[in-house]
Amino acid sequence: MQLGALKALADADRRILDLFESDANRAAEFSASAGNMLFDYSKTQIDENVRAGLSQLCEDAGLAARRDAMFAGEKINETEGRAVLHTALRNLDGGPVEVDGQDVMPEVLDTLQRMRVFAEEVRGGAIAGAGGSFTDVVNIGIGGSDLGPVMATHALAPYHDGPRLHYVSNVDGAHIADTLRQLDPTRTLVIVASKTFTTIETMTNARTARAWMSEGGGDPSRQFAAVSSALDKTQAFGIPEAHVFGFADWVGGRYSVWGPVGLPVMIAVGSNAFDAFLRGGQAMDLHFRSAEWTENMPVMLALVGIWHRQVLGHSSRAVLPYDQRLLRLPAYFQQLEMESNGKSVAMDGSSLTVPSGPVVWGEPGTNGQHAFYQLIHQGTDVIPCEFMVAAEGHEPELTHHHRLLLANCLAQSEALMRGRSLDEARDRMAAKGLTGAELERQARHRVFPGNRPSTTLIYPKLTPFVLGQIIALYEHRVFVEGVLLGINSFDQWGVELGKELATSLGPIVDGEESAQDKDASTAALVAYALKYRD
Ligand code: F6P
């Protein structure tokens, strides 16, 4: 089955509500469970035929073999010649995992144990700054060295009993200035997180933090730690070996929160809670490796994504967590999905004949409802929505809040599916006393087309274990979509050109070199900046 052939199964007239009418078991049949989590994709136009066609794609693309190759440490990241083994970082009870004939698990577990000891000593005060135990931790990193731990720190707020955490990513001096201003340089731990330890934003912020600490009476030789796969560079920066946590090149930046990049999270919530996070990820791995395609949550999430993007042509998808603590999850998924599957060249170098991955965006509910849902309900584009919600919150005294949250989440997917016809809108306007042309005009504004697809992921409560399940679920979803598209989801060449040009523009915006070789627009913008700069 070719992806393109699935278009024959698309039918704009297929009403989701009719699918429910004709199948009393639809909700159960078009959902998948993994542990205690339930993924409901019944509010889509996918029927038995479509699902069979989508499953066939998995067979024809050799998905099982690709999946097993990833877990077995084969170099499936072909353009970089690397294995893809972030799953080894959460392989707590698993057997050996070999890369080039060498079991990587002893080193993974050894680093994890060093992280646990370091994190607990920071939390307990055995490792301290020049002015005493650490009150604050600043993580300096960007992209995968920032978004994962930021997202997880917010998500696990109820478990946060360690020092306060701060994240600095942007090279905009405002970010580090606003962060450091409130901190004591003698009681702050700085973690420099960079896989390559060359990223200009991170290294610039790290040097600024080091100067701030020295000038403020702190001791960078005790109060800095590093997370990187470039150990020679961490040493050159002056970070003591005991404070350096390494990882191998087979952990991609956007897949790295499970290992040393997760160190700030471990310091915040403790090593037991972090272990539970890893176990949640591992549980999803086991499910992904064993469940039949139609019962397999990551596979079905991917197939729903393929159906909406590559078959029906919807160019974006909204991720809508009804969980305030997942407020950074959409940003995290943006990198995970768009950096992984935003490609137009297939693995073999040929051009992709179907659209690449979609634009991913979103905000927590219910805030989004009062901002952009208008377009989702009545705009001319169809935007498949991915809702997420917990059965219960963390605040027993605020269950009435959670009931409202849940009701709002369920109401949105129902409204998207059901819509409101012109006749229904007319009846409502007539009930308000409108008649004639005014009734007609007003009614038309109140029509909802409906039949708009959404999925809902529901879980018991946002615990560390559940967070691990959710992140691993989406990682595998991205992997499956990449396999079906025939692309390499694990490189990111698309970020390079901008980096190179920024380097060449450095001396130009400093006024040291002329902008004459640049295009007229760039030259004019440089001239403006130079004119108004002090
Ligand atoms: O933006 C490109 C990128 O390489 C991301 O893939 C990565 O997560 C980020 O930069 C940060 O890289 P590093 O961890 O090496 O500083």
Write the pLDDT tens digit of every residue in 408-432: 999 999 999 999 999 999 999 999 9
Give the pLDDT band of residue 5 (cuts 50, 70, 90).
confident
Supply the pLDDT for residue 244. 97
Q: Are strands 359-361 and 316-322 parallel, antiparallel or unpaired?
A: parallel
Give the pLDDT band of residue 289 (cuts 50, 70, 90).
very high
Inter-CA distances, 43 with 17, 48, 408, 440, 453, Å: 8, 14, 16, 30, 6
The answer to whether residue 4 scores a pLDDT higher than 90 is no
Q: How far apart are CA 513 and CA 494, in angstroms?
A: 27
Supply the pLDDT for residue 53. 96
Q: Which residues are catalytic?
A: 339, 370, 499
Nearest 10 degrees: CA dihedral of 27, 33, 37, 42? -30
Which residues' Cβ are closer than 6 Å to ligand 1?
Answer: 142-145, 194-196, 199, 202, 253-254, 339, 492, 495
Ligand 1 center to residue 143 CA distance, Å? 5
Q: What is the DSSP letter of 348?
A: T
Write the pLDDT tens digit of every residue in 76-88: 999 999 999 999 9
Extended strands (E) in 243-310: 244-246
High-pLDDT (> 70) share of the chain, %:
100
Supply the pLDDT for residue 467. 98
Of ligand 1's atoms, which has the minimum distance to the CA of residue 256?
Answer: 8
Supply the pLDDT for residue 268. 98
Write the pLDDT tens digit of every residue in 99-127: 999 999 999 999 999 999 999 999 999 99
Give the pLDDT band of residue 2 (cuts 50, 70, 90).
confident
Of ligand 1's atoms, which has the minimum distance to the CA of residue 261?
Answer: 14
Question: Which whole number is the average pLDDT over 239-250?
Answer: 96
Ligand 1 center to residue 135 CA distance, Å? 28
| Radius of gyration (C-alpha) of the chain in whole angstroms | 25
Supply the pLDDT for residue 94. 76
Q: How far apart are CA 513 and CA 526, in angstroms?
A: 11
- Specify the amino acid at residue 522: T
- How long is the chain? 534
Q: Which residues contact 62 (CB under 8 A, 6 or more apart)?
A: 483
Question: Among 80, 139, 145, which residue has the most ligand 1 atoms within 8 Å of its CB, making it the best to mutate?
Answer: 145
Write the pLDDT tens digit of every residue in 464-523: 999 999 999 999 999 999 999 999 999 999 999 999 999 999 999 999 999 999 999 999
Residue 317's Cβ-count burial label (10 Å; 0-12, 13-18, 19+) is: buried
Give the pLDDT band of residue 3 (cuts 50, 70, 90).
confident
Of 134, 114, 149, 145, the closest CA to residue 224 belongs to: 134
Mean pLDDT of the chain: 97
The answer to whether residue 454 scores a pLDDT higher than 90 is yes
> Which residues, in sequence order, are bridge partners of residue 102?
99
Of ligand 1's atoms, which has the minimum distance to the CA of residue 492?
Answer: 6
Supply the pLDDT for residue 346. 96
Question: Which whole number is the average pLDDT over 304-311?
Answer: 98
Supply the pLDDT for residue 477. 98
Q: What is the DSSP letter of 311?
A: I
Ligand 1 center to residue 199 CA distance, Å? 7
Which of the two residues, 73 and 93, has the higher pLDDT score? Answer: 73
